[in-house]
Structure 1
Amino acid sequence: MVPEVTSSSAPPGDGRAARWAGQRERRRREFVDAALRAIAEHGPDVSTGRIADVAGVARPQLYKHFDDATDLKLAIADRATELITTALLPIWEPQGSAMQMIAVAVDAHTGWLAENGNLYRYLTRHSQLEGHLGRDAVADVKTVIARQLTQVFEFYLTAFQLDTRIADVVSFGVVGLVDSCAAQWLEEPRGITRTQLTDLLTRWIWRIVDDALRAGGIELDPHLPLPPPPRRQPPSPPG
């Protein structure tokens, strides 16, 4: 009689471990997506129990796929970062005139924020996770965006034969301006529509860029089409 092969006697290379790992990762992603739906529906202070309800499982079942609440929050932050990076595609592929590049990028940011307000609030409230000091999803995303903008500014400053050292400062300043203004608008819009906010931020950013160019003796028509910088893949935020 041929002995029955059990999981304990199966050779290590039979692929079972890989299949289990893939299944676990798939289930983790399903639970994270359920968490995103729960946050959108019930707000940034949603409980783990509510997330389990939306996922259609008992809370203990949820924790079979996550080490603890912090592990779940980290997974949510990672997934949110993916979504934000995808939504901000215009920043990775700028094209058109300077004003068009700015307007499209700002519109993408304010659009994502308007549609995902509760998720943004969740990320800001859970930015510093226990045991992961320094891990801040919102700050990570802002840093990635600022680094990308630095490369874009360096490309055009080089083309205009200007000092590229200001690119980093300008980039982080612009990102901080957009994020702080949009976050405040999210909580207290005061009758300002998203379109109006986008227009305001677009004009302000152009004035910052225009000032930097004029300081170097360059007067640029903001509506003049510009050659696009080299295309780059969105980088992964620091983990």
Structure 2
Amino acid sequence: MSQSTTSDGRSQRWDEHKEQRRARILDSAIAVIEESGVDFSVQAIAAQTGLPRPVVYRHFKDRADLDEQIRQRILKILMADLLPSLHPAGTVGEAVAHAVTTYVLWTEKYPRLHHFLGIGVDKPAVSGARGQISSALTTLFVSALSRTGADIAPARPMAYGTIGFVDGVVSSWRTSPSAPAEQIVSLLTASLLALLETTAKEQGIDLDRTTPVVDLLG
């Protein structure tokens, strides 16, 4: 085995070690946020991880980079739950209720993680995730409109408007959660269905909450 091959193997193992340690740090950061809230220190992460504070910082450019990597880690957890709900089945009403319920219950299960995402709403990780969800919803709307021969121009603004509306309602609720989650789910579901039905009617599409999704998407 050449010296170059040996060196490459060591470099690969070291890279894998660094990636595993980075993941361990980020998981520890999430645990700290869930336990203590968003006002956490790097020292708290270091203590949770079992590493010296300088070692934690060694894996990130600065505190801003650390926070952004934490946001990406949280969003990975959220998207694993949320994206499958955007592949709808059943009736339109059932599909909307399922997606809304998934998101609302996630924020109720992880309120402090949701809060941390909220204070970084203008950061690349969060805006990128919103764009990904909006894009998936746009694709659904385009499919439904195209299948009926309707104008697809409203698809994108409808998708982005829907995400903005849901996010606004849920964020306001999480700031002062005086109503039960079931009530928020009911409010959002009813509002979104009314919006979909009205928009569909304007496009000449016969749609209501009992319409099977398969009839819209094929």
CA contact (8 A) 1:90 1:108 kept: no
1:162 to 150, 157, 161: 150
RMSD: 1.7
1:141 maps to 2:129 = yes
2:184 to 179, 189, 197: 197
1:12 maps to 2:4 = yes
Q: For 1:168-187, what aligned pairs fall within 5 Å after superposition? A: 168-187=156-175
Give 5+ residue unaligned stretches, structure 1. Answer: 1-9, 129-134, 231-239
Q: Which runs of 4+ in 1 moved over 6 A?
A: none
Give 5+ residue unaligned stretches, structure 2. Answer: none
1:206 to 185, 193, 205: 193
| Greater shift in the superposed pair: 88-97 or 24-33 | 88-97
Q: Tell me by how many angstroms 1:215 deviates.
A: 0.6
Q: For 1:223-238, what aligned pairs fall within 5 Å after superposition? A: 223-227=210-214, 229=217
| Distance of 1:229 and 1:84 partners within structure 2 | 25
Which has more helix, going by share of residues? 2
Task: Tell me the residue number matched to 1:63.
Answer: 57
CA contact (8 A) 1:90 1:101 kept: no
- Taking every aligned residue pair, what percent have the same amino acid on both sides? 29
TM-score of the aligned structures, taking structure 2 as reference length: 0.91
CA offset digits 1:22-77 (Å, max 9, x no partner): 11001100110000000011101111111111112221121232232122112112
CA offset digits 1:163-200 (Å, max 9, x no partner): 1110001111110110000000001122x110110111
The aligned amino acid for 2:135 is R
The aligned amino acid for 2:40 is V
Task: Tell me the residue number matched to 1:215.
Answer: 202
Structure with bigger gyration radius: 1
1:85 to 79, 83, 92: 79
The residue matched to 2:3 in structure 1 has which SS?
coil
TM-score of the aligned structures, taking structure 1 as reference length: 0.84
The aligned amino acid for 2:172 is Q
Aligned length: 214
1:33 maps to 2:27 = yes
The residue matched to 2:5 in structure 1 has which SS?
coil
Task: Tell me the residue number matched to 2:112.
Answer: 118
CA contact (8 A) 2:89 2:95 kept: yes
Q: Tell me by how many angstroms 1:127 deviates.
A: 4.5
| Greater shift in the superposed pair: 83-92 or 24-33 | 83-92
